[in-house]
Amino acid sequence: MKKFTLFFVSFVFLLVLPHKGFGETVKIGVQYPLTGKLAKHGQGCLEGAQIAFDEFNSRGGKLKAKMIVVDDESSPQKGVAAVEKLIAREGVIGINGGYGSHIIGPSSETAAQYGVAYLSVGGVSSKLTARGLKNYYRVNNIPGYAKAQLGLIRDVFSGEKKVAIISNSKVATLDIANNIKKMLESEKIPVVFFEKFAAKTTNFDPLLLKVKESGANILIVEGYFPDYVATIRSAKTLGVKLDAYIGAWGVGSPEFIKELGPLSNYIYGTSLWEKGTAPKEARDEEKTFVDLFVKKFGKDPSYLSMLGYIGAKLMLEAAERAFERGKLNREGLLEELRKTDRVTPIGRVAFDEKGDPKYFTCLIIQIRGNDFTVVYPEDRKNADAVYPAVPWM
């Protein structure tokens, strides 16, 4: 009996020891929309994530990582199925990814049922962190857009400030608009006009006339490409006297500058990342990433790839810490992810109790000719803002 026990114990020991000693592999699921409506976004994020895994596995540590990619086909239902598959069949202990709040919502809930960490880079809706999930984290959120717009107005603009805010009535844009309004008011910067507009509005003249009557000198438009085009055109037509026109996402895109031409000059917009804008502490990391990316894909990384990279990297770093603690499982990974606090190329990342990134702020870019400059925040900018200036005056 005793002999048998000894045999058994040494057998188990032998089985476990080399594993610990010569390396272990952690399985991380990566879920993105690789086909369908959001394919472009999902592909961009995935490319970044691939760099993070490559980098991790070639660093020479004892822990190796296996990336298991699933395509949710831009569909919430398929997202849930993808998560089920990752956890039940593949045995991943953490999931990275998702693009679009409507897909990430149900996907992360499914992961929550298994106590598996879900870290997203493409879900900004305030609803996602209002659910009280213990497994959900993200690196970017809506208030980060509003914070950047606030910073621009408060810290960069000088003189009298009267702000008009108009917003597309879609959830995400309205979310930013409500955030910036609250923030401006708590900073005692007057918001003289606030109105949402229907997503299918074709004639913006009457709305811009109301903005004109409000006496605002700064206009914030939370919208999309057609909204920017139409409001800029109306503002020009009606000669609305403004000192600044601030948009949100989409303003810095190449198509925006190409299509609008000189009409886009001096327009402000938000950006998550542009090459060369990492905070001092993360400059090296940014450079390494860009170099690896160019080597692997033969093109410059987009902000989406940067997001995908950071998301995957933070997940892997948490796994590494869990491994070192000897607790490389679902709970261990979650605990370590929660403790994340470091400066990344998109700024400092640490999570609050709801899983929201405490320090996340967008960049503010301003278009100049055929290019744009980063004008905010102070420690990441590459040029001073031109203020006051709008393209039609």
> Which residues of the shown chain bind other proteins in the complex (CB under 8 A)?
40, 169, 195-198, 200-203, 205-207, 209-210, 213, 225-226, 229-230, 233-234, 236-239, 255, 259-263
Taking alpha carbons only, the member of 157, 204, 211 closest to residue 184 is 157
Could you tell me which residues are beta bridge partners of residue 220? 165, 246
Residue (190 or 206) nearer to other proteins, CB:
206
Distance of CA 301 to the CA centre of its chain: 15
Residue (24 or 213) nearer to other proteins, CB:
213
Residue 177 C-beta: closest distance to other proteins, Å: 13
Q: Which element (helix H / strand E) includes 391?
A: none
H-only helix segments in the chain = 2-22, 39-57, 76-84, 101-113, 126-129, 142-151, 171-186, 205-214, 225-237, 254-260, 283-297, 303-324, 330-338
Pairing of strands 163-168, 191-197: parallel
Residue 167 C-beta: closest distance to other proteins, Å: 11
Residue (40 or 283) nearer to other proteins, CB:
40
Residue 174 C-beta: closest distance to other proteins, Å: 11
29 close to 96: Cβ distance less than 8 angstroms: yes
Residue 38 C-beta: closest distance to other proteins, Å: 11
Residue (187 or 259) nearer to other proteins, CB:
259
Residue (192 or 229) nearer to other proteins, CB:
229
Taking alpha carbons only, the member of 200, 219, 208, 95 closest to residue 157 is 219
CA–CA separation, 228 and 234 (whole Å): 10
Residue 42 C-beta: closest distance to other proteins, Å: 14
Residue (269 or 347) nearer to other proteins, CB:
269
The token pair that represents 93 in the structure block: 């202990």
CA–CA separation, 236 and 322 (whole Å): 57
Three-state DSSP class for residue 264: helix
Taking alpha carbons only, the member of 120, 78, 73 closest to residue 97 is 120
CA–CA separation, 282 and 342 (whole Å): 9
Residue 263 C-beta: closest distance to other proteins, Å: 6
Residue 84 C-beta: closest distance to other proteins, Å: 30
Residue 194 C-beta: closest distance to other proteins, Å: 11
Residue (259 or 300) nearer to other proteins, CB:
259
Distance of CA 344 to the CA centre of its chain: 12
Residue (34 or 87) nearer to other proteins, CB:
34
Residue (210 or 275) nearer to other proteins, CB:
210
CA–CA separation, 44 and 140 (whole Å): 16
Q: What is the largest CA-CA distance in the chain?
A: 95
Four-CA torsion 56, 58, 60, 61, nearest 10 degrees: 20
Taken as a whole, the chain contains a residue count of: 393
Residue 385 C-beta: closest distance to other proteins, Å: 24
Residue (141 or 167) nearer to other proteins, CB:
167
Residue 261 C-beta: closest distance to other proteins, Å: 6
Taking alpha carbons only, the member of 122, 226, 217 closest to residue 168 is 226
